[in-house]
Amino acid sequence: MASELSGSSYMVYSPRWGSHFLTAPFKYFSQSIKTFGLLLRKKPRLVFVMTPPSFACLPILIYSKLTGSRMVIDAHTGAFLLPVWKKLLFIHRFFSRRAAATLVTNQYLKDLIDSWGAPSLIVPDVPASLAKFGKKDLGPGSHMLFVSSFTPDEPLETFMEAAKRMSDVTFYVSGDLNDCPEEIYRNRPNNVVFTGYLPRAEYGRYVNSCDALICLTTLDHAMQRGAYEAIYSERPVITSDFAVLRDAFPIGAVHVKNDVDDVVRGIEEMRQNKQKYEREAADLCKAKRARWSAVLEQLRSL
C-alpha cells in the first residue's frame, strides 16, 4: 500500500525476544523504541501502523502528538477476533479514537469501530498480483495450494482428512514448518507436500501454477489474504462458507463448510468446473481493481 500512496514501508522487529508471552513485553518495548527512532529520522506527516499488536500504535501516537502528524491504523481481523487480542480491545479502542482512521476489511468490523466513536474506512483487499513471477513446473495431474501460516483458526486436520480422500490430487501446504504442529506433519498423507516458508517470488510461482488455492478459516468475519492474492492473480479459490467471504468472493470461488465431506465436495467441484472458475476469477479481478481505485482515492484524501 505504501508505494500506491507514494510512501515507504518498514517492518520493525526484535527477533531476540521471540514470541513467548513472558518475553513479549520486552519485545514490544524494544520495537517501540526502534519505531520511535525511525519516525524521528524519517519525519513522516502520515503514518500507517498495522495491528495486532495494538501496542504498536503507542510510539506512533506519541510521535503524532509531538509533531502534529497523523496516524492511520491498518487493523487486521486478528486484532478483533483472536482471543488474545479480543481481551485487549479497550487498548485498540483508545488508539482508534485518536487516529485519523482505522482501516478494516468488512462492514462488521467497521460497525464495531464506529460504535467506539472512531473514524473508520473499509479496505477489503489491496492489489497483489503475483503473475509477474511466472509459473513452476509441477508435473501432470491436478495441483492445489493450501495457504497456511499454521494459525489456530486454520482447520488443518479437516483439510488433511479431505486430502486423504483425494489421492489423485497433489496438495501443497505453505508456511514455516517451525510453526507446523508436529502431529499434523507426521501424519500427512502421501499426496500432501509441505513447502516450508516460501519467498514471495517462489510463492507466486506456486499460485500461478496450481489449479486453485485453498484458504480456510474457522473465524467468522475474517478476510483471507491468500484468497484475494489468488483472485488478483486470476486464480480461483476454495474458501470457507462465511458471509464476509461470500461477499468478497461472489464468483471465482467455491465456498465450503469446515467439515471433511464438504471440503471434499468443494475440491471436486473446483476440479470438474475448473475453466468456469478461472474465467470468473479473471472477471472478479477486474472488478476488484476498479473498486481499489475508489478506495485509494479515499486513502489519499487522508
Those residues whose C-beta lies under 8 Å from the C-beta of residue 269, and which sit 6 or more positions away, are 254
pLDDT computed for residue 6 by the predictor: 56
> Which residues on adjacent β-strands are paired with residue 51?
75
Residue 3: pLDDT over 50? no
Residue 175: pLDDT over 60? yes
Residue 1: pLDDT over 60? no
Using pLDDT thresholds of 50, 70 and 90, give the confidence band for residue 5.
low
| Average pLDDT score over residue span 262-291 | 96
Mean residue pLDDT of the chain comes to 91
Residue 4: pLDDT over 60? no
C-alpha cell at 186: 507426521
Residue 81: pLDDT over 50? yes
DSSP designation for 75: E
Residue 203: pLDDT over 90? yes
Render the burial of 186-195: b for 16+ CB within 10 Å, e for the rest: eebeeebebb
Distance CA 302, CA 48 (A): 11
Please indicate whether residue 275 or residue 84 has the higher confidence score (pLDDT).
275
Burial class (CB in 10 A: 0-12, 13-18, 19+), 6: exposed
C-alpha cell at 27: 519485545
Amino acid at 98: R
pTM above 0.85, yes or no: no
- Minimal CA–CA distance to 145: which of 239, 231, 211, 216? 211
What is residue 258's three-state secondary structure?
coil
Distance CA 126, CA 228 (A): 8
Q: Which of 22-36, 97-111, 168-182, 198-212 has the lowest mean pLDDT?
A: 22-36
CATH homologous superfamily of 131-286 equals: Glycogen Phosphorylase B; (3.40.50.2000)
pLDDT computed for residue 28 by the predictor: 83
Distance CA 227, CA 238 (A): 8
C-alpha cell at 38: 525511525
- 101 within 8 A of 123, measured Cβ to Cβ: no
